[in-house]
Chain A
Amino acid sequence: MAEFIKKERDFVVPGDEIINSMDYLPGRNCLREGNSIYAKRLGIVNLDGRVISVIPLTGVYFPRVGDMVIGEVEDVQSNGWVVNINSAHSAYLPLSGVREFIDTSKTDLSRVYGVGEVIYANINSVVSANSIHLSMQDPRCRKFRSGRIVRMNPSKIPRLIGRQGSMIMMIKDLTGCRINVGQNGVICIEGEKEDLVIKAIEVIEHESQSEGLTDKISLLLGGNKMPKAPETPHREENHQEFQMEEQEQEQEEMLNE
């Protein structure tokens, strides 16, 4: 077996060689050249069976089917809405994506979702780069009527959610705010202690790699130290990163009640 040049959970930059072996396959953000696998993006090495991938630490949002996103309506067209989802291209919400039946001959579409209104939507399909279709069929989808919108780096959203939604649940519990997190890095906060939540989000964004982040946020929000403090915090943190991918599904379920 070949030796790993960069081990699992190691930090890599574009062009870093991860392993020189044909026993492994290059996954996301990796490429094979000759016998070696190299990193394509700045991030953390992840190993899933025989597939090597890199979990990015930075970058703009690119839509994936099934993501929950928060977007602002940019334009109302005859058969749907154009929504800005904080990505390179705007998304389209067709009439068929809306839960109720709308008769276009009788209803003005801008009265359903007007320009400038903010919605929580699901990415239904990504056909090509600039054909992203949204849907409001998911029961979590809705229009925001109040609250504050904040943005953070989309690649740090898994940190805000935490393992199995632990971080976001804690923030919700301690502040009593209703928080909706979009995978595209947009967060909507509704409740009295909005400022406190924003402060917590800032800390998470700037110290996403530091150890004992959950405790820090807990103290910031006036809670107690988490009872189950990890014995080896360093491993704990890394472990979390490693699990980010597979948890995405679970997290989504957790972050909306």
Chain B
Amino acid sequence: MKEFKRDDGRKADELRPIVIKVGVIEQADGSALVSLGKTTAIAAVYGPRSMHPKHKQVSDRAVLQTFYSMAPFSTSERVRPGPSRRSQEISKVTREALEPAVFLEEFPKTGIDVFIDIIQADAGTRTAGINAASVALADAGIPMRDLVTAVAAGKIDEHFVLDLGGKEEEVTKCDVPVAYMPRKKQITLLQMDGDLPPEETKEVIKTAIKGCEILYEKQKQALREKWVR
């Protein structure tokens, strides 16, 4: 049998070309750029700093705030700037994907702000955003249990495919973004568009976790490149 090849020439379990750059924003405490194929996300971390507005501060831990937004020019159709229903949802799931990794209890009454901007979108923006945010948090010197990695997987025809590209997102039976802490072996985000029998869903998740492990090494390597000379 001929080996399965996708539209862009990738194998089923192959990620798009990965670029991770650390420290791209000078004035932020930590920052990172992650690009997977044509999707590019930039994350900037500020803090721990005093929490504003003050009523949001919590007396025994830091408050993690995430702000996901897409640049107006990031897709072929202009995105209306400002918060939308979609960006609010993604901000929320991103925050919940990162929170289990961060030692928030070490910084009571402070806030940690994570700004994620999608410069160019071609599917998988939330996962690219989570990858960028976790590297940026490490770059900001914030104590963490583990780095968080994220990637989506799906099923096209008979094949479980990793890291769906823009066109694949339309033909896949389901789109499952997974955020994962490779050392802890814990999933911190699991969403699913479409449907699939339970057995196959497990298989899709396994595919995504394999991708996360590759990304984990790339993240570590990127941090090392910035800090070790």
Binds B, one of A34-42, A98-106, A118-126: A34-42
Residue interface mask A124-146, B partner, CB < 8 A = 1: 00001110000000000000000
Residues of A within 8 Å of B, CB-based: how many? 27
The residue among A88, A90, A128, A129 with the most chain B CB atoms within 10 A of its own CB is A88
CB-based contact A14/B146 at 8 Å = yes
CB-based contact A58/B143 at 8 Å = no
Chain A residue numbers with a CB within 8 Å of B142 are: 41, 59
- Cβ-based interface call for A224 (8 A): no
- Cβ-based interface call for B47 (8 A): yes
Interface residues of B in 20-34 (CB under 8 A from A): 29-30
In the complex, which residue of chain B has the Cβ closest to the Cβ of A38? Answer: B183
Contact of B141 among A38, A56, A90 (CB under 8 A): A56
Contact of B227 among A40, A57, A128 (CB under 8 A): A57
Chain B residue numbers with a CB within 8 Å of A41 are: 138, 141-144
- Cβ-based interface call for B73 (8 A): no
In the complex, which residue of chain A has the Cβ closest to the Cβ of B22? Answer: A42
Interface residues of B in 84-114 (CB under 8 A from A): 101, 103, 107-110
- Bound together, the chains give a CA A40 to CA B101 distance in angstroms of 10
CB-based contact B147/A58 at 8 Å = no
Contact of B147 among A13, A29, A59, A89 (CB under 8 A): A13
- Known contacts A60-B49, A89-B110; A11 and B103 CB within 8 A of each other: no
CB-based contact B227/A209 at 8 Å = yes
- Known contacts A41-B142, A59-B142, A128-B108; A11 and B147 CB within 8 A of each other: no
| Contact residues on B (Cβ < 8 Å of other chain), bracket | 20 to 34
- Known contacts A88-B50, A209-B228; A40 and B147 CB within 8 A of each other: no
- Bound together, the chains give a CA A246 to CA B80 distance in angstroms of 54
- Cβ-based interface call for A116 (8 A): no
- Bound together, the chains give a CA A41 to CA B29 distance in angstroms of 14
- Bound together, the chains give a CA A130 to CA B229 distance in angstroms of 37
CB-based contact A42/B109 at 8 Å = no
Residue interface mask B33-65, A partner, CB < 8 A = 1: 000000000000001111000000000000000
CB-based contact A14/B147 at 8 Å = yes
Residue interface mask A1-20, B partner, CB < 8 A = 1: 00000000001011111000
- Known contacts A88-B47, A128-B108; A60 and B223 CB within 8 A of each other: no
In the complex, which residue of chain A has the Cβ closest to the Cβ of B224? Answer: A11
- Bound together, the chains give a CA A60 to CA B143 distance in angstroms of 12
In the complex, which residue of chain A has the Cβ closest to the Cβ of B143? Answer: A40
Nearest CB of chain B from residue A236's CB, rounded to whole Å = 15
In the complex, which residue of chain A has the Cβ closest to the Cβ of B147? Answer: A15
- Known contacts A89-B110, A129-B109; A155 and B227 CB within 8 A of each other: no
In the complex, which residue of chain B has the Cβ closest to the Cβ of A88? Answer: B110
Residue interface mask A75-119, B partner, CB < 8 A = 1: 000000000000011100000000000000000000000000000
- Cβ-based interface call for A210 (8 A): yes
In the complex, which residue of chain B has the Cβ closest to the Cβ of A43? Answer: B141
- Bound together, the chains give a CA A155 to CA B30 distance in angstroms of 13
Chain B residue numbers with a CB within 8 Å of A60 are: 29, 47-49, 140-141
Residue interface mask B189-215, A partner, CB < 8 A = 1: 000000000000000000000000000
In the complex, which residue of chain B has the Cβ closest to the Cβ of A84? Answer: B50
Contact of A57 among B103, B141, B145 (CB under 8 A): B141
CB-based contact B109/A14 at 8 Å = no
CB-based contact B144/A15 at 8 Å = yes
Nearest CB of chain B from residue A152's CB, rounded to whole Å = 13
Interfacial residues, chain A to chain B (CB-CB below 8 A): 11, 13-17, 29, 31, 38, 40-43, 56-60, 88-90, 128-130, 155, 209-210
- The 4 A-B residue pairs with the shortest CB-CB distance, nearest first, are A59-B141, A15-B146, A14-B144, A58-B141
Could you name 21 residue pairs across A and B whose Cβ atoms are closer than 8 Å? Answer: A11-B228, A13-B220, A13-B223, A13-B224, A14-B143, A14-B144, A14-B147, A29-B143, A38-B145, A40-B145, A41-B143, A57-B227, A58-B227, A59-B29, A59-B141, A59-B142, A60-B29, A88-B47, A129-B107, A129-B110, A209-B229
